[in-house]
Amino acid sequence: MNTKTGLNTGDLEGSSVFWNERVRRLVPYMPGEQIRKAGIIKLNTNENPYPPSPKVIEAIKAVEGEALRLYPDPACTAFREAVAKQRDVKPEQVFAGNGSDEVLAFAFGAFFTPGCLDSGLSAPDNPLFFPDVTYSFYPVYANLWRTPFKEIPVRGDFSICADDYRGAKNGVVFPNPNAPTGIALSLRDVAGMAKMCAAQNKVLIVDEAYQAFGAESCVPLINENPGLLSVHTLSKSASLAGLRAGFAIGRRPLIEALERMRDSFNSYTMDVVAQAAAAAAVLDSEYYDEINRRVVKTRERAAAELSALGFSNLPSSANFIFTKPPPPLSAACLYALLRENGILTRYFDKSRVREYLRVSIGRDSDMDKFLEVCGSTRFAR
């Protein structure tokens, strides 16, 4: 009994009597560990190991205190104009939000048809398509919006085959490069998938969270593909995971749909500080091109050294490596061993991928420590 409220909180805390049916059926996304402890090497959440551009810090410091008294620009004009300039599109083709996760949530609600509507669509016949090995937030969004979905198996080499998505009657979403594999689909294949979706009057969402580390962006295809939406985050390539800023690029009708979704929840999605920092980050491509080249160089070195130790790596175009330890070492045991040594990686205990670890690319010194543990004499061939 809570003596202050008079409620039997012991009973309430273990029950869901106040939940509605939507919440009861949700299986939430589980993010990677965020341990705040000195000496921990975080290679588990795909954060950029380098700091944001100095121009971003300047932009944050330049925000006047008086500006915080007022609501932010609901249209995120400066940020959208910066994206438009950097990506060679029109500002009205850009939507801004609190990270790509929020943008994706709006997109799922805006473009993919739920089951059991008056239109006659039913769950078994009209599913949304996405890969079976992919970003695990997609089924969460689909369930949130009551959208039927079908997981399309990736090939034996973990690649996505565009032809496997023929017949999608409720749209397609996938990351390029894919996560957690890091494998990228060619721009030609993306264009083919966009045309397949257009034939069904459905949307193809390409989640380009990791595009800056080696994949081709589909943004140049936007103007010729009215149902193609490219979604981006500043968390990885712009070192702003702690700020929460993302955007989408598409033809105007798609952007307008996202705006309608946003304005039905919260018109002021991005705060004043985030908008200023995000605009500065997008415009400082010289700085970010340089640090992301360093990430790629470190990735290639780490992958080569893992291969020399007998590990099997998938070809990565992202800021992480999906790697399989040599027998008799299991990925689960390596995950535990690394954790004992203060190194966090990501292990997915799922049928097709439980033999692999996803390892974010850190600074060279971080990767040296990681490789030292992997190459310990107990497990090296």
pLDDT in tens, 98-134: 999 999 999 999 999 987 644 444 445 689 999 999 9
Q: How confident is the model at residue 225 (pLDDT cuts 50, 70, 90)?
A: very high
Is residue 154's pLDDT more than 80?
yes
pLDDT at residue 6 above 70? no
pTM, two decimal places: 0.92
Give the list of residues 6+ apart from residue 316 with CB closer than 8 angstroms, or none: 177, 181, 182, 183, 213, 214, 299, 303, 322
- Which residue shows structure tokens 């989640």? 207
Residue 377: pLDDT over 70: no
Contacts of 163 (CB under 8 A, 6+ apart): none
- Cα 307 to Cα 59: distance, rounded to the nearest angstrom: 42
pLDDT at position 5: 45
What integer is the mean pLDDT of 223-233? 97
**Helix axis angle, 137-144 to 99-111, nearest 10°:** 40
Query: Alpha carbon 80 to chain centroid distance?
Result: 20
Average pLDDT rounded to a whole number, residues 312-329: 97
Exposure pattern of 362-371 as b/e (b: 16+ CB <10 Å)? beeebbebbe
* Average pLDDT for 185-189: 97
Supply the pLDDT for residue 1: 45
Could you tell me the domains of the chain?
Answer: 41-51+286-374 (3.90.1150.10), 54-283 (3.40.640.10)
* pLDDT > 60? residue 30: yes
pLDDT for the residue numbered 24: 83
pLDDT score for 13: 57
Mean pLDDT over each residue of the chain, to the nearest integer: 92
DSSP state of 176: S
Which residue's entry shows tokens 């588990």?
44
- 299 band by pLDDT with thresholds 50, 70 and 90: very high
* C-alpha to C-alpha distances, 154 to 169, 228, 376, nearest whole angstrom: 19, 21, 33
Q: What pLDDT, on the 0 to 100 scale, is given for residue 56?
A: 98
Q: What is the pLDDT of residue 28?
A: 84
Per-residue model confidence (pLDDT) at position 117? 45
